[in-house]
């Protein structure tokens, strides 16, 4: 049974196969249909990931079971395991789960239901990484030697974790920049720490990250938006130092005028809206991948 849990479960070839499938779906070169049932279980808030999985499921004809934490028996104390066990028992095939525990999936591996990780605490966000890699590939068509700057609240970001691992594996040159307090020396195995000014000037891809105040403890709450923007943000002045061919990315939601100047969110160099659109096709590729595995194992229905 296939689960989509982390970028490190994939070889470069397998991950790029998913990118190419996503592009096939985006440009109408192929289609995928499934009459299986999905549930989207979001224990943390989401706009893009939740609704683009919903859209992907609609587009390929999957059935959906609605699950809202706020009106579920989670509010009576039901555990994650028992909630997912219930989904399995009523006949759900795929559970798309976002949860604050970076290792939430470990307890679910013996269940007979396929798990798609839609974000695990500060751990992994592999579907975001797939749509980010897809967006970069569409732009540049190569990764070896491509300079990608990941800037901002790196240590609290599951997007940063998935992307630094995958970009490094694909041969990109990864730069890190931002507050020292949001950086962990262990990241240096994937890239090089430098100043925000240098990273913005050198990069082909300037990937800004949201400051995740909800994951900060009290000692990290000493934060003013204006000061952060001037010291670590993509200001108008820093934007003007970017290479002509460089692009801006951000997983969103964006704190406008904090990590990124408001006027840059939809500027010509920005691929932020494209990232959101690509997310639907990346998630179709993920659903095809997990469902194909299920059918292979059952050796019955063809996809």
Binding-site residues for L-aspartate: 76, 158, 210
Rg of the chain on CA atoms, in Å: 19
Q: Which stretch binds ligand CP (CB under 6 A): 44-52, 70-78, 185-193, 265-273?
A: 44-52
Asked if residue 300 lies in contact with residue 7, where contact means CB atoms within 8 angstroms, the answer is no
Among 47, 107, 112, 195, binds ligand CP (CB under 6 A): 47
3-state secondary structure at position 125: coil
**Nearest to ligand CP of 128, 294 (CB atom):** 128
* Least distance to ligand CP, CB of residue 57, Å: 15
Does position 233 bind ligand CP by CB under 6 A? Answer: no
In sequence order, the 6+-apart residues with CB closer than 8 A to the CB of 266 are 272, 273
Q: Which stretch binds ligand CP (CB under 6 A): 5-13, 31-39, 188-196, 249-257?
A: 249-257
In sequence order, the 6+-apart residues with CB closer than 8 A to the CB of 252 are 48, 210, 272, 275, 276
DSSP-derived secondary structure letter, 256: B
Element spanning 284, H or E: helix 272-298
Q: Is 147 exposed, middle or buried (0-12, 13-18, 19+ CB in 10 A)?
A: middle
In sequence order, the 6+-apart residues with CB closer than 8 A to the CB of 148 are 136, 163, 167, 172, 173, 174, 175, 203, 204, 205, 207
Does position 252 bind ligand CP by CB under 6 A? Answer: yes
Task: Tell me the C-alpha distance between 113 and 282, whole Å.
Answer: 21
Using CB under 6 A, count the residues that bind ligand CP.
10
* Least distance to ligand CP, CB of residue 253, Å: 6
Torsion sign across C-alpha atoms 43, 47, 86, 303: negative
Does position 128 bind ligand CP by CB under 6 A? Answer: yes
Q: Which stretch binds ligand CP (CB under 6 A): 21-29, 67-75, 146-154, 246-254?
A: 246-254
Does position 48 bind ligand CP by CB under 6 A? Answer: yes
* Least distance to ligand CP, CB of residue 302, Å: 32
Cross-strand partners of 115: 95
* Least distance to ligand CP, CB of residue 243, Å: 25
**Nearest to ligand CP of 61, 253 (CB atom):** 253
Q: Which stretch binds ligand CP (CB under 6 A): 5-13, 43-51, 61-69, 139-147?
A: 43-51
Among 6, 34, 40, 49, binds ligand CP (CB under 6 A): 49
* Least distance to ligand CP, CB of residue 244, Å: 27
Among 46, 64, 168, 235, binds ligand CP (CB under 6 A): 46
* Least distance to ligand CP, CB of residue 131, Å: 9
Asked if residue 288 lies in contact with residue 39, where contact means CB atoms within 8 angstroms, the answer is no
Asked if residue 4 lies in contact with residue 294, where contact means CB atoms within 8 angstroms, the answer is no
Q: Which stretch binds ligand CP (CB under 6 A): 33-41, 87-95, 247-255, 266-274?
A: 247-255
Asked if residue 41 lies in contact with residue 95, where contact means CB atoms within 8 angstroms, the answer is yes
* Least distance to ligand CP, CB of residue 183, Å: 21
* Interacting residue ranges for ligand CP, rule: CB under 6 A: 46-50, 119, 128, 251-253
């Amino acid at each position: 049974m296939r689960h989509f849990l982390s970028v490190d479960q994939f070889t470069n070839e397998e991950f790029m196969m998913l990118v190419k499938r996503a592009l096939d779906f985006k440009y109408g070169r192929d289609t995928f249909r499934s009459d299986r049932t999905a549930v989207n279980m979001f224990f943390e808030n989401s706009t893009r990931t939740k609704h683009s999985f919903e859209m992907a499921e609609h587009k390929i004809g999957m059935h959906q079971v609605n699950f809202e934490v706020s009106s579920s028996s989670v509010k009576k104390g039901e555990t994650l395991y028992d909630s997912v066990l219930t989904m399995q028992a009523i006949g759900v095939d795929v559970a798309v789960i976002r949860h604050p525990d970076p290792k939430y999936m470990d307890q679910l591996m013996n269940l007979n239901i396929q798990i798609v990780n839609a974000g695990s605490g500060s751990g992994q966000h592999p579907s975001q990484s797939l749509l980010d890699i897809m967006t970069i590939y569409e732009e540049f068509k190569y990764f070896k030697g491509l300079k990608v700057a990941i800037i901002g609240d790196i240590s609290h970001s599951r997007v940063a974790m998935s992307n630094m691992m995958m970009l490094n594996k694909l041969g990109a040159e990864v730069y890190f920049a931002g507050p020292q307090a949001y950086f962990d020396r262990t990241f240096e195995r994937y890239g090089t720490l430098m100043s925000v000014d240098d990273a913005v000037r050198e990069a082909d891809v300037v990937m800004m990250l949201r400051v995740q105040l909800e994951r900060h403890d009290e000692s990290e709450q000493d934060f003013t938006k204006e000061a952060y923007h001037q010291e670590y943000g993509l200001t108008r002045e820093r934007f003007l130092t970017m290479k002509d061919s460089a692009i801006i990315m951000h997983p969103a939601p964006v704190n406008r005028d904090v990590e990124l100047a408001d006027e840059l969110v939809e500027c010509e160099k920005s691929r932020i809206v494209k990232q959101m659109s690509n997310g639907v096709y990346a998630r179709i590729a993920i659903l095809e991948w997990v469902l194909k595995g299920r059918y292979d194992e059952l050796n019955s229905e063809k996809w």
